[in-house]
């Protein structure tokens, strides 16, 4: 375990697109494992690296800007209602993007879950509402998710 090897490990994770918080977690996990394997060694350099990454992750969270859901929904509704019917072929991708944004404003799911949604399996209409059901094995934290669309909207 050397600083150069840890730098290479960090570089590989960054190349994979790992988020700052996940990178921080991997460094602290590495520190915990190596400290238990070689408890007498000086791992202060690794702890300093993990702490630096922790500060970066925290700063990125603090600086993150979230859109107001009311503004997002209003923009989506304007764009969707302004679309001509039937949609010209060249307008379909833009319309789809507005529908996705509208959906995510009401039912925030991870992008991998969004990409895997299937009508009849994940999306079903019941009692006049669209229900989104994700099984525990399909979610990051293994939680059974069943959010409801809380406002009327275009049918997916």
The pLDDT tens digits for 110-133 are: 888 889 999 988 888 888 887 888
Burial class from Cβ neighbours inside 10 Å (0-12, 13-18, 19+) for residue 102 reads: buried
* pTM beyond cutoff 0.85: no
Give the model's confidence band at 66: pLDDT under 50 very low, under 70 low, under 90 confident, else very high: low
Residue 150 has pLDDT above 80, yes or no: no
Q: What is the mean pLDDT of residues 11-23?
A: 90
Q: What pLDDT sits at residue 65?
A: 61
Residue 148 has pLDDT above 80, yes or no: no
């Amino acid at each position: 375990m050397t600083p150069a090897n840890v730098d290479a490990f960090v570089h590989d994770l960054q190349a994979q697109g790992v988020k700052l918080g996940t990178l921080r977690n991997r460094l602290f996990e590495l520190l915990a494992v190596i400290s238990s394997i070689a408890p007498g060694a000086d791992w202060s350099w690794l702890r300093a690296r993990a702490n630096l990454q922790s500060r970066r992750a925290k700063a990125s969270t603090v600086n993150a800007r979230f859109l107001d859901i009311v503004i997002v929904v209003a923009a989506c509704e304007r764009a969707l209602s302004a679309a001509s019917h039937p949609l010209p072929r060249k307008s379909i991708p833009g319309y789809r993007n507005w529908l996705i944004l509208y959906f995510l404003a009401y039912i925030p799911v991870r992008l991998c879950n969004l990409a895997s949604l299937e009508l009849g399996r994940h999306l079903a209409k019941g009692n006049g509402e669209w229900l989104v059901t994700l099984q525990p094995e399909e979610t990051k934290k293994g939680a059974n998710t069943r959010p409801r669309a809380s406002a009327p909207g275009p049918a997916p």
